[in-house]
Chain A
Amino acid sequence: MTKNTNGYNSGTNAKSGQAFMDEFLGDATSKIPTSDAVVVALMKSEEIDAIIQEIVIPMREENPSIAIEDRGGYYWIKATGKLTFDCDEASEMLGKKYTVYDLLVNVSTTVGRAFTLGNKFIVTNELLGLESKVESVY
């Protein structure tokens, strides 16, 4: 079992049966929590497999909160703060033109505030438009 609090089955989901039910239905979890994490689901493809290996896993050196889980058809990624996918870097690694919109072909969901910035795809816990501006490189 992972010690990462962002891990797939961390927190309440680490429990099962009656223990899970007691915590899930308990008073402590009857209000909405506040989380600083973000979630991304990447649909498996040749490019995404490479991006996971070459770009996402190495990101853990700077952000050890990144959790990655193989969920059959997709990779589930959860991290505290922000996830940035630099498609110039992916393009160089893949050996072909690969824009942020090519990446979006396989981004199956996000939880957080997701946006494009030039050739980068960013998912952040910042409240865009409220705490920060929706930036543009142009």
Chain B
Amino acid sequence: MSTGKFVRGMIDPERAAEIRALVPEKPLETKRDHIPFAKRGWRRLTEYEAVMLHAQPTTDAIPGSMDVGESVQKWPGGRPLFGVESTALLSSNWFNFRDPSKRWYYPYIKGKSEDGQTTERVMKSWADSGDYGMMNDAWRNQILGPVYGAFLYEEFGLFNANSSTVYTALSDLLRMWIAESGFDKDDAAQMIQTQRVLLGKIFPDFDESLGDAKKSWTEAAMWKPAREFVEHIWGEVYDWGEQLWAIHGVHDHIFGQFVRREFFQRLAGIHGDTLTPFIQTQALTYHQQAAEGVTALFGKMLINEEPIYSTHNRRYLRAWTNQYLPQTTAALKAFIGVYKDLPVKVDGITCRAGVQASVERVIDDWSRRFAEPLDLKFDRNAFVREVMSGY
């Protein structure tokens, strides 16, 4: 308990009385709307948006900024921070972005905490109840060891690719959403290793160390196109709009979704593995939220509701899609060879028709969400054929 030595104005009788005497009967100002000067965007501001919008002190060269003038201290050489040149995309008001998931720090972090605590309980129950006994040994050692472990690097690499997007994004609500998406990727990588550490504790023959997984990621042909995409987008692309689109709008919505959902989540069950689907459900949820944000940023804000630069933006997004789709196609084609190594084969699921149905599910969903709004000419059947040639 407090020592009471410190005099607090709220509870010290003398100070409290002095303060009370200074408070007028009526407020000096009746208008309590927060940031009353702000434009609403496409809907009324939520409480969080009112708290956060225009927190960014920005040069007035960024459309929508509240500040007057330019940044005060610059990089050696004179480059300012938060410059519109950081992306080829254009906006009439970069502060129009609203996260469709309406996530802000508190609910976001609370949700992740709940995911973590649920995981803790599920893993304990899974281990204590002996559920692990159902797991196919070869699935564990040949798939969850090197393949699942290698996928950790894909998630970790995309996490790192988000560093420069958080650094250069042009407005506050946008930066918050991107930071959360980056954090989710780091989490997804760590959760794979969390699961592998547990497997290492339970199964004496399971090696949770990452040597084989890293070797697979860096050397195996099945990962080469995916790894080269991750390395390119992490190390070489400076346009944050291009990065976000390429990561969440193209590569991860096709390749990432396939690996997480169609491969690990769907096939774990037939190998007696009930834990992997649970872990990957979290990553799928995180991706879904990222995809919604991408749709809101690129589809809604920069194309549908952008009064001036819509055509310009659409042209860029099409060009970027055309640039990254072939590499994503190659990534999926290379990965799909893994089916031949599956310990358990189930007709209708792991056969050619079953796998093709998986590929079609993923690409059709991508097409609906991302290609159609761009009026992108895209040969769906050719994509499926090309990917399936790797089967």
Contacts and interface: CB of A to CB of B under 8 A. Distances in A.
Interface of A: 44, 49, 70-72
Interface in B1-18: 1-6, 8
A70 B6 CA distance: 7
Contacts of A49: 1-2
Main secondary structure of the interface of B (DSSP, over half): loop
A71 B6 CA distance: 6
Nearest to A46: B1
B6 A44 contact: no
A70 B3 contact: yes
Interface of B: 1-6, 8
Contacts of B2: 44, 49, 70
A122 to B, nearest CB: 24
Contacts of B6: 70-72
Given A49-B2, A70-B2, A70-B5, 8 more contacts: A44-B2, A49-B1, A70-B3, A70-B4, A70-B6, A71-B6, A72-B6, A72-B8
A49 B2 CA distance: 7
11 contacts: A44-B2, A49-B1, A49-B2, A70-B2, A70-B3, A70-B4, A70-B5, A70-B6, A71-B6, A72-B6, A72-B8
A12 to B, nearest CB: 22
A42 to B, nearest CB: 12
A71 B7 CA distance: 9
Nearest 6 Cβ contacts at the A-B interface = A72-B6, A70-B3, A70-B5, A49-B1, A70-B6, A72-B8
A70 B4 CA distance: 8
A71 B1 CA distance: 13
A44 B3 CA distance: 11
A71 B2 CA distance: 9
A57 to B, nearest CB: 12
Most buried by A among B2, B5, B8: B2
Nearest to A70: B3
Contacts of A71: 6
A106 B8 CA distance: 20
A71 B3 CA distance: 9
A44 B4 CA distance: 12
